[in-house]
């Protein structure tokens, strides 16, 4: 049972439970009103601007009935009903995070232990069953990657994967790109050398936030795919040396690509990116695309390079990696702002043909949220 109390000047209201309390400012409540005059009933977008709300807005009265809080605002004289459940879900009456590098509770950092339970789903099930799609996308959002098996073995089948959650992001490489490798090739351009774990295209701003890699041929020995959780690597660096974590998050690295005529791509972002309140939101690591680092003061450059070296060593640690082999008709989707990917080297003879493309997390997370809403409604 909740009680409600208004402060003396009406600038905020307090919802009191048995052992909790949640305060809400009058201006916040008025800005978040869901009445038809404030929000569009069809799409929920605001119909008014903040300038339309009096800077002297206050709470004239407030009362609770069941799950509804009825608030009357002065000097407007407007009454609005709020869902108490919604208010508690969106309460901001808490202390600011004290440490840098915290993670959303929706994200789970991992290391090589995840080899025991690689997030995976069947393409057919995800394509036809909303519950299966919801479960798979939830895993991708939580762990930053996920496999699909049992897909068609056909040119550009990866487009069907992207259609499950979003849209292809076209780049100077086109709508998709080819990854062909031959062991003992006649052309040295098709090499079977291994690659260090990396995030793709850090020289773009914004960086493509989702990558899909789809296997069409896999007859070569070796060449397994490998993923590393950049968030876990960054947090491990933080556990080992707080100063090194802070220097990589404080200063920007620079990345550059100019490998074809008419294309010069550059970005300036930290290797470990934090939100202003300290949330860990992105990792960019790609030594092949790193330009000269010029944004670090002379006094901090030695520490920066020590931190950079150690982060690379952590990423290269076999205990951090999850490894799996893609067979024809299989693919994986990776959060390119978080999870680094690589491949092992090849041996013997054979070929390996993958196709890749980029997409963005907004589509994936939108699809996930929509499925979550539909699933919740079905359960009621």
pLDDT tens figures, 152-202: 999 999 999 999 999 999 999 999 999 887 665 544 334 566 678 999 999
> Has residue 348 got a pLDDT over 80?
no
Quick: pLDDT tens for 303-328: 999 999 999 999 999 999 999 999 99
Tell me which residue of 281, 272, 317 sits closest to 113, measured CA to CA. Answer: 317
Q: What is the pLDDT of residue 190?
A: 47
Measure the CA–CA gap between 261 and 73, rounded to whole angstroms: 61
Determine contact, residues 68/81, Cβ cutoff 8 Å: yes
Domains and CATH numbers, the chain: 3-89 (3.30.2020.30), 112-374 (3.60.130.10)
Preceding omega of 51 cis (within 30 degrees of 0): no
Average pLDDT in the 242-264 region?
95
Phi/psi region, residue 366 (left: phi>0; alpha: psi -120 to 50; beta: rest), is: alpha
The answer to whether the CB of 136 falls within 8 A of the CB of 121 is yes
Q: What is the mean pLDDT of the chain?
A: 93
Q: Check residue 183 and give its pLDDT.
A: 61
Burial 20-40 (b: 16+ CB within 10 A, else e): eebbbbbbebbebbeeeebbe
Kindly state the average pLDDT of the residues 266-274: 98
Residue 375, pLDDT score: 64
Q: How many residues does the chain have?
A: 380
Residue 380 has pLDDT above 60, yes or no: no
Angle between helices 230-240 and 298-316 (to 10 degrees): 120
* Residues 2, 58: Cα–Cα separation, whole Å: 21
CA pair distance 279, 361, nearest whole angstrom: 18
For residues 98 and 166, the model is more confident at: 166
What confidence tens digit (pLDDT) does each residue in 10-60 have?
999 999 988 899 999 999 999 999 999 999 999 999 999 999 999 999 999
Phi, psi of 347 (to 5 degrees): -145, 165
DSSP 250: H
Phi, psi of 47 (to 5 degrees): -100, -5
C-alpha to C-alpha distance for 304 and 346, rounded to whole angstroms: 34
pLDDT value of residue 374: 77
Is-contact 157 361, C-beta < 8 A?
no
Distance between terminal CA atoms of the chain?
22
Q: Of 251, 227, 248, nearest to 236 (Cα)?
A: 248
pLDDT at position 307 is 98
Render pLDDT for 78-89 as a digit per residue (tens, 0 to 9): 999 999 999 999
Distances (CA, A) of 131 to 56, 89, 127, 194, 369: 48, 24, 10, 37, 12
pLDDT score of 378: 58
Q: State the average pLDDT over residues 215-243.
A: 93
Only one residue has tokens 């920007």, namely 252
């Amino acid at each position: 049972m909740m009680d409600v109390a208004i402060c003396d000047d009406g600038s905020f209201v307090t919802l009191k439970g048995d052992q909790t309390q949640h305060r809400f400012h009058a201006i916040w409540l008025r800005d978040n009103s869901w009445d038809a005059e404030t929000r569009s009933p069809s799409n929920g977008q605001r119909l008014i601007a903040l300038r339309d709300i009096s800077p002297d807005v206050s709470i004239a009265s407030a009362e609770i009935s069941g799950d509804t809080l009825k608030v009357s605002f002065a000097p407007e004289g407007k009454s609005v009903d709020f869902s108490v459940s919604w208010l508690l879900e969106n309460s901001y009456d808490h202390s600011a995070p004290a440490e840098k590098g915290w993670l959303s509770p929706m994200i789970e950092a991992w290391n090589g232990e995840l080899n025991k339970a690689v997030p995976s789903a069947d393409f057919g099930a995800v394509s036809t069953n909303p519950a299966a799609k919801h479960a798979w996308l939830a895993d991708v959002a939580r762990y930053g990657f996920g496999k699909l098996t049992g897909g068609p073995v056909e040119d550009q089948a990866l487009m069907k994967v992207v259609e499950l959650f979003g849209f292809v992001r076209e780049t100077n490489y086109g709508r998709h790109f080819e990854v062909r490798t031959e062991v003992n090739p006649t052309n040295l351009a098709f090499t079977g050398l291994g690659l260090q774990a990396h995030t793709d295209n850090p020289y773009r701003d914004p960086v493509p936030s989702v990558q899909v890699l789809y296997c069409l041929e896999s007859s070569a020995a070796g060449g397994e795919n490998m993923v590393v959780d950049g968030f876990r690597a960054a947090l491990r660096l933080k556990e080992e040396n707080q100063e090194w974590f802070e220097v990589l998050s404080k200063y920007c690295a620079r990345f550059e690509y100019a490998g074809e005529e008419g294309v010069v791509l550059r970005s300036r972002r930290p290797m470990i990116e934090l939100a202003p309140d300290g949330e860990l939101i992105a990792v960019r690591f790609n030594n092949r695309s790193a330009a000269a680092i010029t944004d670090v003061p002379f006094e901090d450059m030695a520490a920066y390079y020590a931190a950079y070296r150690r982060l690379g060593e952590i990423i290269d640690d076999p205990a951090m990696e999850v490894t799996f082999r893609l067979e024809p008709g299989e693919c994986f989707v990776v959060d390119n702002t978080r999870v680094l990917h690589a491949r092992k080297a090849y041996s013997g003879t054979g070929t390996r043909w993958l196709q890749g493309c980029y997409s963005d997390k907004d589509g994936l997370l939108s699809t996930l949220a929509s499925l979550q809403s539909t699933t919740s409604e079905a359960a009621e």
